[in-house]
Amino acid sequence: MKALTIRQPWAGAIAHQTKRVENRTWKLPVKHEGARVLIHAGAQLDRDAQVYGPHLGVYGAVVAVATFTGCHWSDDGQCCGPWGFERAYHWTLTDVTALEKPVPAKGALNFWTPPHDVLAAVQQQLELERASA
């Protein structure tokens, strides 16, 4: 499973709010469409973002798992509600599962492969959630 580092507060908005689009300047690679991906909250804050909430203060940790379902270009950003930026590729997400306990990890640019211990900690939380459902 791959991971994608996203600055806060955007990663928290995916995990705990209704953000189901990731804005990028580059296309989602076809090999990642339909794939489950770890959402990693980066170590830096996007100071221009105006998103608020109790779960947005986590940095340097995996906060959710999601499925990237597609990618499209948007000139005006209106196609994806309040979360879509204009003049950006919109990577659409579904099946977002927030982790109850963020898993600390060092992020990286682009898609990256998390260490085994990070994957194991995420998997354990997902299995506990399934068992309690």
In degrees, rounded to 5, the angle at the alpha carbon of residue 70 between the alpha carbons of residues 76 and 24 is 50
Question: Domain with 7 in it: what CATH number?
Answer: 2.30.130.30
Residue 52 reports pLDDT greater than 90: no
Q: What is the pLDDT of residues 64-88, one digit of tens each?
A: 999 999 999 999 999 999 999 999 9
* Full 3-state SS string of the chain: CEEEEEEECHHHHHHHCCCCEEEECCCCCHHHCCCEEEEEEEEEECCCCCCCCCCCCCCCEEEEEEEEEEEEEECCCHHHHHHCCCCEEEEEEEEEEEEEEEEECCCCCCEECCCHHHHHHHHHHHHHHHHHC
Whole-number pLDDT of residue 50 = 84
Can you give the pLDDT at residue 84? 95
Determine what percent of the chain is predicted with pLDDT higher than 90: 86
Report the number of distinct structural domains present in the chain: 1
Q: What is the pTM of this model?
A: 0.93
How high is the pLDDT of residue 62?
98
Residue 55 belongs to domain spanning: 2-132
Res. 133: pLDDT tops 90? no
* pLDDT at res. 129: 81
pLDDT band at 114 (very low <50, low <70, confident <90, very high): very high
Strand bridging mode 36-45 / 61-74: antiparallel
* Residue 24 near residue 15, CB atoms below 8 Å: no
Q: What is the mean pLDDT of residues 112-119?
A: 98
pLDDT band for position 54 (50/70/90)?
low
